[in-house]
C-alpha cells in the first residue's frame, strides 16, 4: 500500500509540475519560430536554415534546460527549496568567507531576483497576446479585437488572484497535459509530411547554422533564446513539487513535446514558407483553429499564473530578508504551500503588464523586450552555482569549472545576443529590474542606518533595567512584550510607558524577530529565551524566508524554555519610527527621502506578525537618519 501511495503521490506531483513549472517554457512555440525567421533577424527562410535553426533550438533545450537545470542546478537545493533567493543564501553561506565576498554574492543574487520582476511583467503580456493573435489566422477581421481581448483576459486573470488559485490549480495539470499532447500530435503530423527536418537532430547542422551567420549569429540567437525562457521556473518551484517530479515531467513529456513541435513547425515552413505569418496556428486545420486559440489562451493564462505566483513568493522572501518593506500577505489556502496573495504586488504587476501590452501592441514587438532580463538571471544562477559546487560541495577547482564553465559561456552568449535588442524594447525589463534593485538596496541600507541611529541615541538595555529593578516603580499585572529591531538598547515604547504612564509590568519580554537566509527554521530552533534581571527576559524568534510569521504561536514555544506566556494577559508595545531624512552622511538625500516614504507606507507590524489587534499599543517616535 505504501509503494502504491508513493507512486500516486509522485504521479500527482508530476502532473502538477507540468502545469505550474512548465507553463512558461511550454507556450514558447506560440511565437519562437515566427521571431527566428522574422525580417528583423535576416535569417533566410530555406530548408538549410530551417534545419539549422531547429537544431540550435533542440540542442539548446538539451544543454541549457536538461543538462544545466534538470541535472545540475536542481541538485543545489537549500533544505529542499530552490530559486535564486535560496541559491544566493546557499552560495553566500558556503563561499562568504569574508564580509566583502558575502556581500558581493548577496548583491549578485538580489540583482538576479530583481530582474525576475521584469520576466513577471513580460511573460503574461507576450504569452496572452501571442495566443489571442491566433484569431487573426481565423479571419483578418478579428485583428482589431486582439488587443482589447488580451487586456480583458489579463484584467480577469489578475482580478481572480484574491480568491486564491487552489481550485484553478487543480485544473492546471490536465490542461497543460492536453496542451503538450496537442503540441506532439500537430508536430508529428507535419514531420510525417516532411521527414527531412529530422536532420535537425544532428548537432553539426546547428553548429553550421551558427557559423554561417557570422557576427549576425548574435541576432539569430537573440530570437532563438525565446525557446528557453521560463527555464528558471524549474528551479524556483522545486520546493513545491520536489526534484524528481520536475525531472520526470521534463524528460518524460515536456522535452519530447517541445522538440517534436519545433521540428513540426520547421517541416511546415519547409513545404509552405507562407505559413511564417503564424507557423504555430497554421499547423491546425481551419475547423480546429477556434479550439486551438481557446486552448492556447488557457495555456498562456496558466503560464502567466505561474510567474505571478512566483512574484508573490519572491516578494514575500524579499520582505522577510529585509530587502523590501512589510506588505500585506493573504494566505489563500490552508493546505497548499505557497498559496499566497499580495494585493500591492498584484495591482502593480497588472498596471505594468497592461502598459507593456498597450505600449508594445503585439507579441512580435514584445519579443524584442523578452530575453535580456531572463538570460541575465540565468547567468547569475550559473555563477552562484559555481560557488556552491566549489565551496558548498567541496569539489576541486577544475571540477567546479568543468561543471559550470560551459554553461557560463552559453549564458554569456545568450546575454550578449539579447543585449542587441536593448533599444528595440530590451531596456524595459532591465530598467524595471534596476529600479526594483535600487528600491531593495535603499530599504536595506535605510534599515541599517535606522538601527545604528537607535543604537547610538538610546541607552543600553542591561544597565537600564538593572538600575530600574532597584527603583520603586509601580508594577502592574500582565505581561508586556516590547518588539524591537535592536535588542541591546532600551525600547522606545518602554521609555514612553515609564515616562507617561509611570508604570512597569510585572513581566517584560524584549522581543526580537530574526529572519535567516535559509528557507525554514524548525520549531525546536524557533525561539531562544535569555533571562536578564527579575521581571525581564530577552526572547528571540527565528524564521526562515519561507516560514509564515506568527508571534503568538511562537510565544507558546517559550513554555519549553521555562517562560510560560499567558497570551490572554499579554500586551504588545510597538515602536513606530517616523523617519526624518537629513543631509549628511548615510545615503544620498533622495534615497533617504525614498526610504522615509517606504517606511511611512510599510504594512502594519501587527498584521504582519499576526498580533491580536485588541492587545496592541503602538507608540511613535521621530528618528533622523
pLDDT in tens, 191-229: 999 999 999 999 999 999 999 988 888 999 999 999 988
Residue 210's pLDDT is: 93
Q: Determine the Cα–Cα distance for residues 325 and 318; give it in Å rounded to an integer.
A: 9
State the pLDDT at residue 242.
80
Claim to verify: residue 411 and residue 316 sit in the same structural domain: yes
Residue 434, domain member (yes or no): no
Do 384 and 490 lie in one domain? The reply is no
Res 179 pLDDT > 90: yes
Arithmetic mean of pLDDT, 231-259? 86
Is the residue at 376 inside a domain? yes
Tell me: do 398 and 516 sit in the same domain.
no
Regarding whether 416 and 503 lie in a shared domain, the answer is: no
Residue 514 pLDDT exceeds 80: yes
The number of domains in the chain is: 2
State mean pLDDT over 291-316.
84
Q: State whether 552 and 607 are in the same domain.
A: yes
| pLDDT of the residue at 372 | 85
Mean pLDDT of 145-161: 90
What Å distances lie between residue 586 and 126, 550, 581, 595, CA to CA? 41, 33, 10, 12
For residues 271 and 345, membership in a common domain is answered with yes
Over residues 504-523, mean pLDDT: 88
Express each pLDDT in 69-80 by its tens digit: 999 998 888 777
Using a pLDDT cut of 70, give the percent of the chain over it. 96
∠ Cα 238 440 86 (to 5°): 20
pLDDT of residue 373: 85
Establish if 324 belongs to a structural domain: yes
- Looking at the structure, do residues 376 and 346 belong to the same domain, yes or no? yes
Are 236 and 188 within one domain? yes
- Structural domain of residue 400, as residue ranges? 2-425
For 52-119, the three-class secondary structure string (H helix, E strand, C coil) is HHHHHHHHHHHHHHHHHHHHHHHHCCECCECCHHHHHHHHHHHHCCCHHHHHHHHHHHHHHHHHHHHH
Which of 131-140, 462-471, 550-559 reaches the highest mean pLDDT?
A: 550-559
pLDDT(93) > 60: yes
**Mean residue pLDDT across the chain:** 87
Final residue in a domain of this structure, among 375, 397, 425: 425
**Domain-embedded: residue 431:** no
Which of 164-178, 343-357, 481-495 shows the lowest per-residue confidence on average (mean pLDDT)?
164-178
**In-domain check, residue 436:** no
- CATH number, domain with residue 65: 1.20.1740.10
Contacts with 516 (C-beta within 8 Å, 6 or more apart), sequence order: 542, 543, 544, 545
pLDDT attached to residue 169: 54
Residue 433 lies in a domain: no
Average pLDDT value for residue range 254-267: 96
Residue 300, SS3? Answer: helix
Q: Which of 425, 458, 487 is the last residue of a domain?
A: 425
Same domain assignment for residues 409 and 473: no
**Strand, coil or helix: 425:** coil
Task: Read off the pLDDT of residues 39-70 as tens digits, 9 standing for 90 and up.
Answer: 888 899 999 999 999 999 999 999 999 999 99
pLDDT reported for residue 338: 55
Confirm whether 325 is domain-assigned.
yes
Confidence bin at 617 (pLDDT 50/70/90)? confident
**Residue 1, pLDDT above cutoff 50:** no
Please tell me the predicted confidence (pLDDT) of residue 181: 95
Question: Which pLDDT score is estimated for 166?
Answer: 53
Residue 408 has pLDDT above 90, yes or no: yes
Q: Is the pLDDT of residue 3 over 60?
A: no
At residue 7 the predicted structure's pLDDT band, cuts being 50, 70 and 90, is low
Helices 289-320 and 2-20 pack at an angle, to 10 degrees, of 100
User: Can you give the pLDDT at residue 170?
Assistant: 60
At which of 391, 425, 459 does a domain end? 425
pLDDT at 306 over 80: no
Q: What is the spatial distance between Cα 483 and Cα 350, in angstroms, rounded to a whole number?
A: 35
Co-location of 90 and 21 in the same domain? yes
Q: Are residues 367 and 474 in the same domain?
A: no
- The predicted model gives 474-487 an average pLDDT of 88
| In a domain? residue 435 | no
Shared-domain flag, residues 87 and 175: yes
Question: Which pLDDT belongs to residue 54?
Answer: 97
* Confidence category of residue 150, pLDDT binned at 50, 70, 90: very high
Whether 269 has a pLDDT exceeding 80, the answer reads yes
Instruction: Measure Cα distances from 100 to 92, 107, 108, 111, 377 in Å.
Output: 11, 10, 12, 16, 22
* Per-residue model confidence (pLDDT) at position 528: 94
DSSP output for 497-564: IIIII--EEEEEEEEEEEEESSS---GGGTEEEEE-STTEEEEEEEEETTS---HHHHHGGGGGGT--
Amino acid at each position: 500500500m505504501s509503494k502504491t501511495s508513493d507512486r500516486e503521490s509522485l504521479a500527482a506531483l508530476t502532473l502538477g509540475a507540468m502545469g505550474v513549472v512548465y507553463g512558461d517554457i511550454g507556450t514558447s512555440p506560440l511565437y519562437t519560430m515566427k521571431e527566428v525567421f522574422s525580417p528583423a533577424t535576416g535569417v533566410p527562410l530555406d530548408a538549410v536554415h530551417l534545419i539549422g535553426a531547429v537544431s540550435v533550438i533542440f540542442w539548446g533545450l538539451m544543454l541549457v534546460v536538461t543538462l544545466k537545470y534538470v541535472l545540475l542546478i536542481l541538485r543545489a537545493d537549500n533544505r529542499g527549496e530552490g530559486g535564486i533567493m535560496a541559491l544566493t543564501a546557499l552560495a553566500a553561506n558556503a563561499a562568504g568567507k569574508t564580509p566583502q565576498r558575502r556581500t558581493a554574492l548577496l548583491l549578485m543574487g538580489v540583482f538576479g531576483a530583481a530582474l525576475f520582476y521584469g520576466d513577471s511583467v513580460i511573460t503574461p503580456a507576450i504569452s496572452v497576446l501571442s495566443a489571442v493573435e491566433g484569431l487573426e489566422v481565423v479571419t483578418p477581421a478579428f485583428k482589431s479585437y486582439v488587443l482589447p481581448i488580451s487586456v480583458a483576459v489579463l484584467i480577469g486573470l489578475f482580478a481572480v488572484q484574491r480568491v486564491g488559485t487552489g481550485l484553478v490549480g487543480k485544473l492546471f495539470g490536465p490542461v497543460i497535459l492536453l496542451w503538450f499532447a496537442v503540441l506532439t500530435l500537430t508536430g508529428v503530423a507535419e514531420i510525417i509530411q516532411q521527414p527531412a527536418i529530422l536532420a535537425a537532430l544532428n548537432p553539426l547542422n546547428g553548429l553550421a547554422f551558427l557559423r554561417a551567420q557570422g557576427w549576425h549569429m548574435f541576432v539569430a540567437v537573440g530570437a532563438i533564446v525565446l525557446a528557453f525562457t521560463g527555464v528558471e521556473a524549474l528551479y524556483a518551484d522545486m520546493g513545491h513539487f520536489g526534484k524528481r517530479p520536475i525531472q520526470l515531467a521534463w524528460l518524460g513529456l515536456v522535452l519530447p513535446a517541445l522538440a517534436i513541435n519545433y521540428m513540426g513547425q520547421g517541416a511546415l515552413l519547409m513545404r509552405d514558407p507562407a505559413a511564417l505569418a503564424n507557423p504555430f496556428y497554421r499547423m491546425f486545420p481551419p475547423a480546429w483553429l477556434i479550439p486551438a486559440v481557446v486552448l492556447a489562451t488557457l495555456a498562456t493564462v496558466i503560464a502567466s499564473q505561474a510567474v505571478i505566483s512566483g512574484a508573490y513568493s519572491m516578494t514575500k522572501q524579499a520582505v522577510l530578508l529585509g530587502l523590501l518593506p512589510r506588505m500585506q500577505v493573504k494566505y489563500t489556502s490552508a493546505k497548499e504551500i505557497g498559496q499566497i496573495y499580495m494585493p500591492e504586488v498584484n495591482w502593480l504587476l497588472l498596471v505594468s503588464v497592461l502598459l507593456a501590452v498597450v505600449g508594445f501592441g503585439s507579441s512580435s514587438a514584445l519579443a524584442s523586450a523578452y530575453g535580456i532580463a531572463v538570460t541575465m538571471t540565468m547567468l547569475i544562477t550559473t555563477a552562484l552555482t559555481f560557488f556552491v559546487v566549489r565551496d558548498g560541495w567541496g569539489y576541486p577547482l577544475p571540477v567546479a569549472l568543468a561543471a559550470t564553465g560551459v554553461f557560463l559561456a552559453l549564458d554569456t552568449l545568450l546575454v550578449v545576443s539579447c543585449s542587441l535588442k536593448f533599444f528595440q524594447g530590451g531596456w524595459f525589463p532591465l530598467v524595471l529590474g534596476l529600479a526594483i534593485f535600487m528600491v531593495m538596496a535603499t530599504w536595506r541600507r535605510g534599515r541599517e542606518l535606522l538601527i545604528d541611529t537607535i543604537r547610538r541615541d538610546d541607552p543600553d538595555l542591561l544597565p537600564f533595567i538593572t538600575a530600574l529593578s532597584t527603583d520603586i516603580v509601580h508594577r502592574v499585572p500582565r505581561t508586556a512584550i516590547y518588539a524591537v529591531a535592536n535588542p541591546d538598547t532600551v525600547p522606545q515604547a518602554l521609555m514612553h510607558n515609564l515616562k507617561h504612564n509611570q508604570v512597569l509590568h510585572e513581566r517584560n519580554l524584549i522581543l526580537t524577530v530574526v529572519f535567516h537566509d535559509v528557507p525554514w527554521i524548525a520549531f525546536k530552533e524557533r525561539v531562544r529565551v535569555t533571562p536578564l534581571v527579575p521581571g525581564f527576559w530577552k526572547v528571540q524568534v527565528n524564521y526562515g524566508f519561507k516560514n509564515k510569521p506568527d508571534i503568538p504561536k511562537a510565544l507558546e514555544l517559550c513554555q519549553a524554555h521555562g517562560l510560560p506566556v499567558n497570551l490572554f494577559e499579554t500586551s504588545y508595545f510597538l515602536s513606530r519610527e517616523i523617519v526624518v531624512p537629513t543631509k549628511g552622511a548615510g545615503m544620498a538625500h533622495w534615497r533617504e527621502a525614498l526610504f522615509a516614504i517606504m517606511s511611512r507606507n510599510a504594512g502594519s507590524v501587527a498584521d504582519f506578525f499576526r498580533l491580536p489587534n485588541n492587545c496592541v499599543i503602538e507608540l511613535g517616535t521621530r528618528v533622523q537618519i
